Structure 1
Amino acid sequence: MLHSLPLTPDRLTDIRLIATDIDGTLTREGKFTTELLQAIDLIRAKGIELLLVTGRSAGWVSAVNNYLPVAGAIAENGGVYFDRNGSGFDFITRIDRIEEHRAELANRFWELQSRYPQIAESSDNQFRITDWTFDVAGLTDLELDEIAIQCQQWGYSFTFSTVQCHIKPLHQDKGIAILHVLERYFPHIAPQQIVTVGDSPNDASMFDRSLFDRSVGVANIQHYATQLAHQPQYLTKLPEVAGFCELVNLLKTRA
């Protein structure tokens, strides 16, 4: 069980930006819903910015950022950033030789696949720049731990979400990326004025209390209670997008 506090309005004063994961946090069974769009409208009416922070590929996030009324989007667990004006993306993680980097990641994946033949490259991997992904389905907790150790020995970091596993550069994570984006694109918003939201292990750095004062886990994060390097301060009663809407409705009622 997570040792998190229930979410109440008094914990949400002076919020100016929500930095949120997508899959399992803004979705229901993997899809966007009308309640999400209504929640985004409520956020905007309160003058609160919404920043997407996802492990999904740069190609996939480019489209989502274009169609949703959000302030921007961080893709690939902190690798790249898309701003709201659709003018392209900026690297958060510097990659000097992209083709060589991709080739090295491919070799590492094939080595893993020889040991764990059940793993398959994710469908959006061809649209990635900074990391390499394969589906998490079929892997046990022990195997995930073994893969993480192997990636560290190769000089990479490793994380996973409800849908994908990620081999990525060291120190590339969501928490560091959020702080970078805040400093460069939202200098008028202090880290103390944001709330971070997530649901799985690749969101753990968003719950780091040395980085962020307020963090929220939607209820389905309980599935990963023993696998989180950092735990959210607050927990919603409801899972997935219903939990996110719970947060938004509390923000709506604040003074």
Structure 2
Amino acid sequence: MPVNRSTLPSPLPAQLEHSVRYLFTDVDDTLTWEGRLPAATFNALEQLQKAGVQVIPVTGACAGWCDCIVRTWPVAAVIGENGAFWMQKDSNGHVQRRYMQSQEERTANRARLLEVQEELLAELGFARMTVDQTYRETDIAFDVGQEQNLTSQQRHLLLNLLHQSGVQARLSSIHINAWLGDYDKASTAMAWLEQESVQQGRLIAEQEVAFIGDSGNDVAMFEQFSNTVGVANIQPFLESLSHKPRFITSANGGFGFVELAERILAQPTLLESEACDAGVA
């Protein structure tokens, strides 16, 4: 159920109200910090998996990176390229992909997106694609804080021009992702939950689901879910977010994720009565 939250987040409490079984998480600067995945964060992912908590990264990262994550990290699935698809292992350990658009739509949209990028690069010399563009299937990503560090003015100029071109665009801590389509992180997360609900043969209660993120690229998730957390490095973005997280950690990036993981792992098993409440899927 979409949540209208415009107030600043509260500090992450020592104890959560409900047990979490499904944890959606951003990746860059939420699981990672300063370009690396801390060992403590990976260990937290493993501990969550062992406890039966399904962790699902929801990221703007490219398909190639998502394929690596779903094969090698202790996660249930991964939603990539801002909701364009999810990847998940089947019962035989084979990675399956579910796209939000047909192959024909993806091919046509990609051609148009490349035209937009060429037009913008001719106008703005800094409108350069990310180094991982080769490994993207559905979107284009502009480097704003990875190999080059654009000013806030440059970032918002590029973002506005993309919107004027008729494409969806979201600003993260390191990229601007642009795509054509009516999906986003939240809509695909909900589609994944619906599939999970069918497979589990039960309604998934809203309080079983949580999300943690770090930037404007996560606004759709902050709006969609009631149990939301921002890592500490979201602070500079808070005033500009139309929907804010409910809580905020004291530590940055992956270390903030560990804070939330510790709270989740300390919770008792979700009561059966809670699972029968109004659900999200």
Q: Give the aligned length.
A: 253
- CA distance in 2 between partners of 1:251 and 1:67 (Å): 23
* Residue aligning to 1:109: 117
User: Relative contact order, CA 8 A, sep 6+: which one is greater?
Assistant: 2
Contact 1:93 1:172 in 2 (8 A): no
Q: TM-score, normalised by structure 1?
A: 0.92
1:201 aligns with 2:206: no
- CA distance in 1 between partners of 2:47 and 2:61 (Å): 25
Instruction: Kindly report the root-mean-square deviation, in angstroms, between the aligned alpha carbons of the 2 structures.
Output: 1.9
* Residue aligning to 1:64: 69
- CA distance in 2 between partners of 1:61 and 1:244 (Å): 19
* Residue aligning to 1:23: 28
Q: 1:88 to 1:50 in 2, by over 3 A?
A: same
Pick aligned residue for 1:147 from 149, 155, 158: 158
- CA distance in 2 between partners of 1:168 and 1:226 (Å): 25
1:1-255 equivalent positions in 2, closer than 5 A: 3-85=8-90, 86-94=94-102, 96-137=104-145, 138-187=149-198, 188=200, 189-208=204-223, 211-255=224-268
- CA distance in 2 between partners of 1:66 and 1:103 (Å): 29
How much does 1:243 deviate? 0.4
Deviations 1:41-63 (A, max 9, x none): 22123221110111001111101
Contact 1:196 1:214 in 2 (8 A): yes
Q: Structure 1: 5+ residue runs without aligned partners?
A: none
- CA distance in 1 between partners of 2:207 and 2:123 (Å): 44
Give the % identical residues. Answer: 29
Q: TM-score, normalised by structure 2?
A: 0.84
Q: 1:116 to 1:161 in 2, by over 3 A?
A: same
Residue range with higher mean Cα deviation, 195-204 or 145-154: 145-154
Deviations 1:76-119 (A, max 9, x none): 01001001333331102445243332221111011111222023
How much does 1:20 deviate? 0.2
Contact 1:9 1:254 in 2 (8 A): no
- CA distance in 1 between partners of 2:207 and 2:236 (Å): 28
- CA distance in 2 between partners of 1:241 and 1:44 (Å): 16
Secondary structure at the counterpart of residue 238 of structure 1: coil
Contact 1:196 1:207 in 2 (8 A): yes
Deviations 1:3-61 (A, max 9, x none): 10111244341211100001101112111222122101221232211101110011111
Residue range with higher mean Cα deviation, 220-229 or 17-26: 220-229
